[in-house]
Structure 1
Amino acid sequence: MADQDRFICIYPAYLNNKTAIAEGRRIPISKAVENPTATEIQDECSAFGLNAVLEKNKMYSREWNPDAQYRGRVWVQLKQEDGSLCLAQFPSHKSVMLYAVEMIPKLKTRTQKTGGSDQTLQQGEGGKKGKGKK
């Protein structure tokens, strides 16, 4: 990142309700999201008009799990070159994180995953039962 005082860094651990404060969570557990990914954070920030850059191969220093799901960090631009805010709604690091946790559960990938997985399980079981009866 060229000018780091204009950008903030968000790791998924900051927003994860499965992470303790000692492990890096930075928002209240009541507002945190279950296992957010860096891609989801970037998608939400970009969708609102913030300049968000994803670094997939970076890992939070307190994260002990090397799985790809927990990797990544997002750089979000808060200020322009002259020091003014890019968007008035986001004056601070915390405001961006709270917006992200509010929007991540509404993502299509999250809403379809819960509904779609139940249907596939039922269909799979139904198919197996049908084959056994024949």
Structure 2
Amino acid sequence: MESAGEVRTSGSKMWSVVYLVYINSNKTVAEGRRVAASKACPDPTCAEIADCCSHLKIPCRIELDKAYPRDFMQVGRVRVQLKKEDGSPLNPEITTSEHQR
């Protein structure tokens, strides 16, 4: 499935992976949530993440055929390009993961 924010390049395997559980406020840290519950959202979808990436002008790619390794029922993930090939930030306004939070 393609979205408006999706960009296909050969280097997308090097992009960061965002599983839905990482930002799901209904999950615990033990279940895989990686952000504070107050900053997470309930039951996010790949399309919502892609829309956010599109708004921030961050290339992304939805992968619906992939599942979260610890829970195969959590289907779908989004690959996002946060850095250029030289390692510099793609969007100068978002320089670190702490800045994104």
Q: Aligned residue pairs: how many?
A: 91
Asked if the contact 1:52–1:76 (Cα under 8 Å) also holds between the matched residues in 2, the reply is: yes
Greater share of strand = 2
CA RMSD across the alignment: 1.8
Over 3 Å counting, the alpha-carbon distance change for 1:94 and 1:12 in structure 2 is: farther
Q: Structure 2: which amino acid aligns with 1:74?
A: V
What's the CA shift string for 1:47-101, capped at 9, x where partnerless?
221011110111111225x2xxx421111111112221111222234544x3xxx
Q: Structure 2: which amino acid aligns with 1:82?
A: D
Pick aligned residue for 1:44 from 33, 45, 52:
52
Pick aligned residue for 2:87 from 83, 88, 97:
83
Greater share of helix = 1
Partners of 1:52 and 1:20 lie apart in 2 by: 26
* Structure 1 unaligned regions, length at least 5: 99-134
Corresponding residue number in structure 2 for 1:26: 34
The TM-score, its normalising length taken from structure 2, stands at 0.78
Spell out the pairing of 1:57-68 with structure 2 (5 A cutoff).
57-63=65-71, 66=73
Pick aligned residue for 1:13 from 21, 30, 43:
21
* Structure 2 unaligned regions, length at least 5: 1-9
Q: Which runs of 4+ in 1 moved over 4 A?
A: none
Residue identity (%): 36
The TM-score, its normalising length taken from structure 1, stands at 0.60
